[in-house]
Structure 1
Amino acid sequence: MSIVITGANGKLGNLIIKQLLQKVPPNQIIACVRRLESGKPFEEQGISVRLCDYDQPESLEQAFVGASQLVLISSSHHDDTIRLRQHAHVMEAAKKSKAEHILYTSFAFPENGSSSPVHLHLATEHAIRAAGIPFTFLRNALYTDFVEVLDLNAAIKKGKLSIFPGDWKFNSVTRLDIAAACAAVLSEPGHRNKTYEFTTSRPWTFGDLAAALSDLSGKTITLEQDPQIQNWIYGFLSKIDTSSISNDLERILGRPVITLKESIKTFISMKNLND
């Protein structure tokens, strides 16, 4: 069995490999990277490294040779037209190299969104189905990382978390939980031709975020709705489904997801933590 991971030295790719190493031997993992020198840390662990550039179709077919499972981590390019073309290159190479199974990191509940990225994910899912290769779609919710743009440290300093008005609810998750679930799907049978919505099992609110900040800082953080706030994140959030939930992630993990309080610690200055 050979598990090929594209984008292996990205944030999610790295985490997937770390989780996989707990389940399969390193000689069953192939890390695909855009620059071979960046794969040295993988080689030191006994993992094979191959050149894989979404913009160089000729590199992809060779990278995917012998893949019993191929993890397509969606392109991070800012232009969705280019991203779709890159994904198409992967599909063609996967067919030519006779990859046996594709796992694609899609987006949770894309049918409910109106932004360009969710359309991209739906189009990629359609292309994978059309390719006739057994698939698993891992539809990942928004990463909880998005709260970083809200400047949580400033909220702690002011004792107030200011947000744009609205009935905001979030199904966000951490990359670590996504990676652990992906590793489970890759190392266990029974997941072919299935779609999983990887979200929290209970949505959280900005009130929950303020409460988590209060617990972490030892200060009371109040919540304020301010219609004068100008932050690009709210426009983005309004165009995707941030509230629909599923228990797929917790079921595959076999445990609860990482809590909101734990997941935001990394965005808070040590001096603001309540020790």
Structure 2
Amino acid sequence: MTTIMITGANGQLGSLILENLRSRIPAMHIIAGVRSAPQADHFRELGIEVRKVDYDLPESLEEAFHGISRLLLISSSHKDDDVRLAQHKRVIDAAKQSGVRHLLYTGFAFPQQSADRSKPGNVHTMTEQAIIESGLEYTFLRNALYIDFVGVLGLKEALSSGELVTAPGGWKFNSVGRRDLALAAAAALVEEGAGSRIYELTATHTWDFADLAEVLTEVAGKPVVHRQDEGIQHWIYAFMSQLDTASTSGDLEQLMGRPVTPLRDSILPFIV
């Protein structure tokens, strides 16, 4: 049977994927790749083998990937994209040398292409290109912006004041929660059949800040209105402007086998 490894297994997304994977295949066929093995005892208690996977230690990666059929590379969280790309390439090289048959990678949904072909893309598109050039069979899991971004919008304050204030713009969002993305990733990890695939893992319909205000109104039991204010300054808006947060796809629901979690349920953890 196929042996599957998830790197970054101690992270929020990785641990959720492992949780979903356990309901699909026996624990003996799952391997948790972690940077700090002593912090992974909870996986061992579930019968899951733990191996040290440090993107900065290339000499250890080939050994860690030995006997792995399908490897999920969860993108590095390092803040320097040059470092991230170097880390990813070490994993790709080691996977090929170790005989991994299929490499899965988590990037961003609907990556924007630069009009200037001479300029390199972002870290995710360059990682995808490196995987393609490796000759490995691949699956690109292009995740929408995590719904977590609402945590910086002052939702609790909006419930109290009756006003959700955001920076100006025609913002639309295809965002979903990690639990939905993890369920889809687990399904992709156990997919049968050969060949490479690309999944755009987004909501099937966009929502905007007016929709968010409606949900807050429902939760609060009193009106919450949305207002734009040019004085609002936060790094999240500059970050979101670099992403395609408006395009949608049915890939996520197809992999999950159910609809995406409703907006109301997705934001509840950020307002309770």
Other-structure match for 1:66: 67
User: Is 1:125 aligned to residue 128 of structure 2?
Assistant: yes
| 1:210-221 mapped onto 2 (5 Å cutoff) | 210-221=213-224
- Opposite residue 195 of structure 1, the aligned amino acid is I
Deviation at 1:216, TM superposition (A): 1.4
| Structure 1 residues 166-222: Cα deviation after superposition (integer angstroms, max 9, x where no partner) | 111001111111110111111221473010100000000001111111111212100
Q: Is the 8 A contact 1:8 1:31 kept in 2?
A: yes
Shift in alpha-carbon separation, 1:109–1:26, aligned structure 2, 3 A = same
Other-structure match for 2:51: 50
Q: Please, which runs of 5 or more residues in structure 2 have no aligned partner?
A: none
Shift in alpha-carbon separation, 1:118–1:203, aligned structure 2, 3 A = farther
Q: Please, which runs of 5 or more residues in structure 1 have no aligned partner?
A: 270-275
Q: TM-score w.r.t. structure 1 length?
A: 0.94
Shift in alpha-carbon separation, 1:233–1:96, aligned structure 2, 3 A = same
Deviation at 1:7, TM superposition (A): 0.2
| 1:256-271 mapped onto 2 (5 Å cutoff) | 256-269=259-272
User: Is 1:179 aligned to residue 182 of structure 2?
Assistant: yes
Q: CA RMSD in A?
A: 1.6
Query: May I ask how many residue pairs the two structures share in their alignment?
Result: 268
In the alignment, the residues of structure 2 paired with residue 185 and residue 233 of structure 1 have an alpha-carbon distance, to the nearest angstrom, of: 30
Q: Is the 8 A contact 1:108 1:241 kept in 2?
A: yes
Shift in alpha-carbon separation, 1:147–1:139, aligned structure 2, 3 A = same
In the alignment, the residues of structure 1 paired with residue 194 and residue 101 of structure 2 have an alpha-carbon distance, to the nearest angstrom, of: 13
In the alignment, the residues of structure 2 paired with residue 190 and residue 231 of structure 1 have an alpha-carbon distance, to the nearest angstrom, of: 45
In the alignment, the residues of structure 2 paired with residue 223 and residue 113 of structure 1 have an alpha-carbon distance, to the nearest angstrom, of: 33
- Opposite residue 252 of structure 2, the aligned amino acid is L
Deviation at 1:251, TM superposition (A): 1.2
Q: Is the 8 A contact 1:174 1:263 kept in 2?
A: yes
- SS of residue matched to 2:94: helix
- SS of residue matched to 2:199: strand
Q: Is the 8 A contact 1:171 1:245 kept in 2?
A: yes
Q: TM-score w.r.t. structure 2 length?
A: 0.95
Q: Is the 8 A contact 1:152 1:267 kept in 2?
A: yes
Other-structure match for 1:254: 257
Other-structure match for 1:79: 80
In the alignment, the residues of structure 2 paired with residue 154 and residue 113 of structure 1 have an alpha-carbon distance, to the nearest angstrom, of: 38
Q: Is the 8 A contact 1:112 1:241 kept in 2?
A: no
Other-structure match for 1:273: none
Shift in alpha-carbon separation, 1:8–1:118, aligned structure 2, 3 A = farther
User: Is 1:153 aligned to residue 120 of structure 2?
Assistant: no
Q: Is the 8 A contact 2:112 2:243 kept in 1?
A: no
Q: Which runs of 4+ in 1 moved over 3 A?
A: none
- SS of residue matched to 1:180: helix
Other-structure match for 1:92: 93
- SS of residue matched to 2:89: helix
Deviation at 1:165, TM superposition (A): 1.1
Other-structure match for 1:29: 30
Q: Is the 8 A contact 2:62 2:98 kept in 1?
A: yes
- SS of residue matched to 2:207: coil
Q: Is the 8 A contact 1:107 1:118 kept in 2?
A: no
In the alignment, the residues of structure 2 paired with residue 78 and residue 248 of structure 1 have an alpha-carbon distance, to the nearest angstrom, of: 29
